[in-house]
Amino acid sequence: MLARNKAAGLAQAAGGGGPRLRSPLRRLFVKGTSDGQTESGLKRAHFKEWRLPFWLLAPQLFILLLFFFIPSIRALIQAFQLTDPFGATTQWVGFQNFERLFRSNVYWSSAQVTLIFTIAQNVLTLSLALLLAFASNHILRGRGAYRTVLLLPYAIAPAIAGIMLAFLFNPRVGPVAHMLQGMGLDWDPNRNSWHALALVVMAASWKHICYNYIFLVAALMSVPQSILESAYLDGAGPIQRFLRISLPMIAPTLFFLIVINFVYGLFETFAIVDATTRGGPAGATSILVYKVYQDGFVTLDLGSSAAQSVVLMALALLLTFAQFRFVERRVNYSV
């Protein structure tokens, strides 16, 4: 649905109404030359022959082959093997790696940590970004400056963000930790798993708020001014206007961000965890993707690591499927 709407939108932007490709390439794309097609956009476009589309797709396919298909297939094979790190000895062990994984308490606790982490990170990121976007939309003077400052963290490498927070919150030398301790909280992420988890959530969110913020600011700006003005005339306050008008209208963006945040939390926070806590203490922040890295590259348990990445990949597929199949229907895109 999204794809179709987008395509329609594109087509409308390009020509408004009839078939939409204006480029000289158009004849190659569209079957026949009649303008009488009812469906619009690329979706219904047909290629007359295979060569052009092949070459157009080739670079992308090549990259996918090199960096996705070959590694995925190798991971899949490795998941059923027990192997020496140097590759000297390899044994086919069937589902042994998976059995070991699903019997392991450590793996389940890692899954649990991942669940808490992704949800907490999502809620924190989205709500703070929303608050900031709302606030900066209501500031008249220096709006640009605020936006720039708010976007800065995005330019910082995750590892640096992580290590910076690790320092600030270090119970012995960190100024923020000393402040917390001064307030009577026995802050110590090295000895308290919840503190460690909170630290990782903070680091991951801080890094990702900007990303959410960009989208939300753009979405808020696209809310028709006329509606807001008429609500204003009817006596609605800024918060009411935000909750009753802006928020429903930016729902598609919110939904998109929720999915992106989950993907981010599940798959892209490895560097942050590595820099902030290294998965510790006692595996308290060892989220699934970090465990894949640790088991594969630190402890050289290649079979288990491969099995874990296969599980993660299945999870990603499931998430994508669920997104399009169930959730997206409930979101209204016709702004």
Under the criterion CB under 8 A, does residue 280 sit at the interface with another protein? yes
Contacts of 95 (CB under 8 A, 6+ apart): 80
Which of 198, 206, 209, 185 has the alpha carbon at shortest distance from 277?
Answer: 198
Under the criterion CB under 8 A, does residue 176 sit at the interface with another protein? no
Nearer to another protein, 28 or 164 (CB): 164
Under the criterion CB under 8 A, does residue 182 sit at the interface with another protein? no
Interface with another protein by CB under 8 A: which range of 10-18, 120-128, 142-150, 160-168? Answer: 160-168
Q: What angle do CA 135, 136, 140 make, to 5 degrees?
A: 110
Query: Among residues 148, 222, 240, 299, which is the contact residue for another protein, using CB under 8 A?
Result: 299
The answer to whether residues 94 and 82 touch, using CB atoms and an 8 Å cutoff, is: no
Under the criterion CB under 8 A, does residue 74 sit at the interface with another protein? no
The answer to whether residues 20 and 14 touch, using CB atoms and an 8 Å cutoff, is: yes
Q: How far is the CB of 299 from another protein (least distance, A)?
A: 4
Nearer to another protein, 127 or 190 (CB): 190
Nearer to another protein, 147 or 291 (CB): 291
Amino acid at 178: H
Q: How far is CA 139 from CA 135, 142, 146, 238, 256, in A?
A: 7, 7, 9, 12, 26
Query: Among residues 157, 298, 318, 322, which is the contact residue for another protein, using CB under 8 A?
Result: 298
Under the criterion CB under 8 A, does residue 276 sit at the interface with another protein? yes
Nearer to another protein, 113 or 257 (CB): 113
Nearer to another protein, 26 or 74 (CB): 74
Which of 28, 55, 61, 54 has the alpha carbon at shortest distance from 42?
Answer: 28
Interface with another protein by CB under 8 A: which range of 13-21, 165-173, 204-212, 310-318? Answer: 165-173
Query: Among residues 12, 91, 127, 230, which is the contact residue for another protein, using CB under 8 A?
Result: 91
Under the criterion CB under 8 A, does residue 41 sit at the interface with another protein? no
Under the criterion CB under 8 A, does residue 192 sit at the interface with another protein? yes
Cβ atoms within 10 Å, residue 256? 17
Under the criterion CB under 8 A, does residue 275 sit at the interface with another protein? yes
3-class DSSP state for residue 281? coil
Q: What are phi and psi of 82, to 5 degrees?
A: -115, 125
Under the criterion CB under 8 A, does residue 78 sit at the interface with another protein? no
Under the criterion CB under 8 A, does residue 158 sit at the interface with another protein? no
Q: How far is the CB of 272 from another protein (least distance, A)?
A: 11
Contacts of 66 (CB under 8 A, 6+ apart): none
CA–CA distance, 270 with 114 (Å, rounded to integer): 12
Query: Among residues 17, 59, 87, 182, which is the contact residue for another protein, using CB under 8 A?
Result: 87
CA–CA distance, 309 with 68 (Å, rounded to integer): 13
Under the criterion CB under 8 A, does residue 283 sit at the interface with another protein? yes
Q: What is the Cβ-side half-sphere exposure of residue 246, based on CA atoms within 13 angstroms?
A: 26
Query: Among residues 300, 314, 317, 318, which is the contact residue for another protein, using CB under 8 A?
Result: 300
Nearer to another protein, 19 or 189 (CB): 189
Phi-psi region of 186 (alpha: psi -120 to 50; beta: other; left: phi over 0): beta
Nearer to another protein, 172 or 330 (CB): 172
Footprint on this chain of another protein (rule: CB under 8 A) = 82-89, 91, 100, 106, 163, 166-167, 170-173, 188-193, 275-278, 280-284, 294-295, 297-301
